[in-house]
Structure 1
Amino acid sequence: MSETMQKIMYHIILLVDVFLTFYAISTDNVIGCVVLIFFSIIFSKKASPILLKNYNKRVKAKKLLFDKYLDKKRELK
């Protein structure tokens, strides 16, 4: 499956999860809320690398720059 199709699929699943969570909360369905919380945790672990790929690259690049800056600052002391 292509990366674009995976992103679309994960966005749809995320949208359905949000609607089901609101429905479970509004109907006071405690078991449904617990099940959806576990589903959301599992889903976020699998979908995060795909949905947040560009964001993770930017954060990693900024972290590397900051680490280089700190290394230079430590060398000066």
Structure 2
Amino acid sequence: MSRTRNLSTGNIGEHFLHLAVPAGIGMLFTTLYNVVDVFFAGLIGTDAQAGLAISFQAFFIFITFGFGLSAAMTALVGNAIGAKD
């Protein structure tokens, strides 16, 4: 069963939603993960929350590279599928 989608025809808004909704859900869960961390660190103390605030910067840098790599791979795979490679 083929699960390919021709993005060159049809409603652009629908295609956008099919691509954007999973990415948005992923970002939502990433943010919720950090909110829960801050909550439980708050039960320990302000020093624990400060440590999390510092580590979040590095965490989001890695997440940003991951999303960028994912977007690049999506474009490359789409080009390969379009070229029938």
Q: TM-score range by the shorter chain?
A: 0.3 to 0.5
Structure with greater contact order relative to length (CA < 8 Å, sep ≥ 6) = 1
The two structures have a TM-score, normalised by structure 2, of 0.38
* Structure having the larger proportion of residues in helix: 1
